Amino acid sequence: MDFDVIFIGSGHANWHAAVTLKQAGKKVAIVEKDMVGGTCTNYGCDAKIALDGPFQLVEQLNRFKGNGVKETPAINWPELMAYKHQMIDPLAPSMDGLFGQMGITMLKGSGVITDAHTVMVAGETYKTDYIVIGTGQRPATLDIEGKEYVHDSREFLDIPDMPKRLTFIGSGVIAMEFAAMAATMGREVHIVEFADRALGAFPKTYVDRLQAKLEQQGVVFHFNEAVTAVTKTEGGLTVTTKNGLNIETDYVLGATGRIANVENIGLENVGIDASRRGIKVNDHLQTSVASIFASGDVIDKTQPKLTPTATFESNYIADVILGNDQPISYPAIPSVVFTMPRISQVGVSVATATANPDEYRTQVVPFGKQLAFEFKLALGAEATLVFDKTGYLVGASVYADDADDLINLITMIINGHFTQRQLNQQIFAFPSATSGVIDLLRSLLPKD
């Protein structure tokens, strides 16, 4: 064999396992046709969060007007984009160099599986004991007139200046995050959504609050509308819907979901079934071919398709190849919408709890009002907690600037089945946002 393991794709779904296996003495190769590090590192979550900081700062400073702040700074998008490039652009070559120093072989090109133990890259064939597919997802494209004028998230994260008028097709996480940025900069924003609400996977109460805030900033939502065409005009672009709505705009972003990258990697050569949802795997993340695993967003699964999930799966696959025979067991997985404020959730949803009152109870904690100074005058900050019938915390949703950090703390409490006694054995820094929430949460947990 040329290698012990060949990974197709260099994102989080694969490189964690590649590093672990190399450190364990395995001969490892990674195949990559695009940028080393994958979507998140180069043109996904890392790039987005690099742009996020100034927007969060402006949000906080606006709340302190009249309470110590006189003027709020404006966002300079070209300067911010230059900063993003400064932070993000070195990551891919740095990772490439690091893998090389470790002795991981980088194979540049498209990887095609030709049999259960062979991968072809750039006309060369390589034999291996195991293959791991971590090819991720790509943005879905609309088959409409003028689709060439519709941009995707990768392109948005590279625009040199923020357009004056933007239209987002879809109202999921990507659209809402980018729309919040544009609205903060005072741009004219329209969101066109086929369904009757935004962010369908998140609690409606908090989504409605976020929508109302965006509307106050001038964002216009168009629900139950299907885009049929984007046409070029003298003044820019026109977005047309099936119901006859016409929106004059300068920039159109398509954010109608993502599709698994399962084409052109040779799945048909080994009889692995796949769909736009991804590749089916068993409880060891093996495909229908035992020597071929799948990891990350390319898997057809019910768990959130997020970078931390992909990392968890990558680490698990490394353990399996090194001899672990236990099936994968997912913990509660948090997810976050990085808007201003943020919405996060983990575990049993509020909707599920409300629909099953015999199994769950919910508790609203308005910590923004109770902890105003810790939460920087974010009076609307709130959490809805879900408890099972034995009293354990099993789910939560948070609406706050700090929702991303708070949900991590809550996730540890859920996955650790914490009681009051266990929480009382911990000491947290004070004054801080987390210590305040812990004090509010403490009495709601079971005593033992």
Same-domain check for residues 351 and 437:
yes
Same-domain check for residues 222 and 270:
no
Same-domain check for residues 13 and 128:
yes
Whole-angstrom Cα Rg for the chain: 23
Residues contacting residue 93 through CB under 8 Å, at least 6 positions apart: 36
Domain membership flag for residue 313: yes
Domain that holds residue 393: 341-443
- Of the three residues 239, 256, 273, the one that is the final residue of a domain is 256
Same-domain check for residues 301 and 238:
no
**Tens digits of per-residue pLDDT, 42-73?**
999 999 999 999 999 999 998 888 888 888 88
Same-domain check for residues 116 and 170:
no
Same-domain check for residues 269 and 356:
no
Same-domain check for residues 188 and 267:
no
The 3-class secondary structure across 385-400, one letter per residue, is: EEEECCCCEEEEEEEE
Which residues belong to the annotated binding site for NAD(+)? 170-177, 193, 257
CA–CA separation, 313 and 331 (whole Å): 11
Beta-carbon neighbour count of residue 179 at 10 Å? 26
Same-domain check for residues 263 and 229:
no
Domain membership flag for residue 336: no
- DSSP letter at 161 equals S
The closest of 9, 83, 94 to 47, measured between CA atoms, is 83
Same-domain check for residues 370 and 269:
no
CA–CA separation, 262 and 433 (whole Å): 43
Burial bucket for residue 298 (CB in 10 Å: 0-12, 13-18, 19+): buried
The closest of 40, 78, 80, 85 to 56, measured between CA atoms, is 80
Domain membership flag for residue 40: yes
Place of tokens 């033992």: 448
| Crossing angle (nearest 10°) for helices 204-216 and 173-184 | 30
- Of the three residues 237, 256, 275, the one that is the final residue of a domain is 256
Same-domain check for residues 250 and 268:
no
What is the residue type of 59? Answer: E
- Report the Cα 303 to chain-centroid distance in Å: 12
| Number of independent structural domains in the chain | 3
Which residues belong to the annotated binding site for FAD? 111, 297
Structure tokens at 193: 């959504």
Place of tokens 């106050």: 216
Same-domain check for residues 240 and 267:
no
- Whether residue 94 contacts residue 18, with contact meaning beta carbons closer than 8 Å, is answered with no
Same-domain check for residues 224 and 91:
no
CA–CA separation, 307 and 11 (whole Å): 9
For residue 132, the SS3 value is: strand
pLDDT in tens, the chain (448 residues): 799 999 999 999 999 999 999 999 999 999 999 999 999 999 999 999 999 999 999 999 988 888 888 888 899 999 999 999 999 999 999 999 999 999 999 999 999 999 999 999 999 999 999 999 999 999 999 999 999 999 999 999 999 999 999 999 999 999 999 999 999 999 999 999 999 999 999 999 999 999 999 999 999 999 999 999 999 999 999 999 999 999 999 999 999 999 999 999 999 999 999 999 999 999 999 999 999 999 999 999 999 999 999 999 999 999 999 999 999 999 999 999 999 999 999 999 999 999 999 999 999 999 888 776 666 778 889 999 999 999 999 999 999 999 999 999 999 999 999 999 999 998 988 888 888 888 888 889 998 8
Domain membership flag for residue 331: no
Which residues belong to the annotated binding site? 111, 170-177, 193, 257, 297
Give the CATH number for residue 419: 3.30.390.30
Domain membership flag for residue 166: yes
CA–CA separation, 419 and 83 (whole Å): 44
Place of tokens 């070029």: 232
Domain membership flag for residue 332: no
Output the pTM of the full model.
Answer: 0.95
CA–CA separation, 131 and 213 (whole Å): 47
Give the CATH number for residue 156: 3.50.50.60
Domain membership flag for residue 371: yes
Beta-carbon neighbour count of residue 54 at 10 Å? 18
The string of DSSP letters for 198-259 reads S-TTS-HHHHHHHHHHHHHTT-EEE-S--EEEEEEETTEEEEEETT--EEEESEEEE-S-EE
Domain membership flag for residue 82: yes
Structure tokens at 290: 């035992």
